[in-house]
Amino acid sequence: MNLVSIIPQYITWHYTKSMKDFLSLWSRLFWFVAFFFSFKDLFKTFFSPFARLNETYKKGFNLGDFMSTLVVNILMRIVGVLIRTCIILLGLISFILAAVLGAVLF
């Protein structure tokens, strides 16, 4: 094959099939980031305790036991919110990086 006959085929491939393939891969990258960081689940369980760590309230009423259980449960929810917030921010940064990198490469 001579070079003159390859050039039109390359240009046709480069501006049709390769562009479609690139956009398909780029959209799959967004899908991967969204499901890897599982934004839906993170927002659904945003105020849940961290790693489901919580204490159960004891039978009867003892103010000291009640307050210590309440404090531990509130702290575990705060830790859960902070960790989920960090993961969501990391996911958003990854999403933005994927968008910028894809736009630059396109």
**DSSP, residue by residue, 52-101:** G---PPPSS--HHHHHHHHHHHHHHHHHHHHHHHHHHHHHHHHHHHHHHH
CA distance 55 to 9: 68
Per-residue pLDDT of the chain (106 residues; tens, 9 = 90+): 677 888 888 888 888 888 899 999 999 999 999 999 999 999 998 888 887 777 888 888 888 888 998 998 899 999 999 999 999 999 999 999 999 999 998 8
What angle separates helix 17-36 from helix 3-15, to the nearest 10 degrees?
40
Question: Position 5: which residue type?
Answer: S
Helix H segments across 16-58? 17-36, 39-44
Q: What is the pLDDT of residue 33?
A: 93
- Distance, in Å, from the CA atom of 26 to the CA atom of 35, rounded to the nearest integer, reads 15
What's the predicted TM-score (pTM) here?
0.76
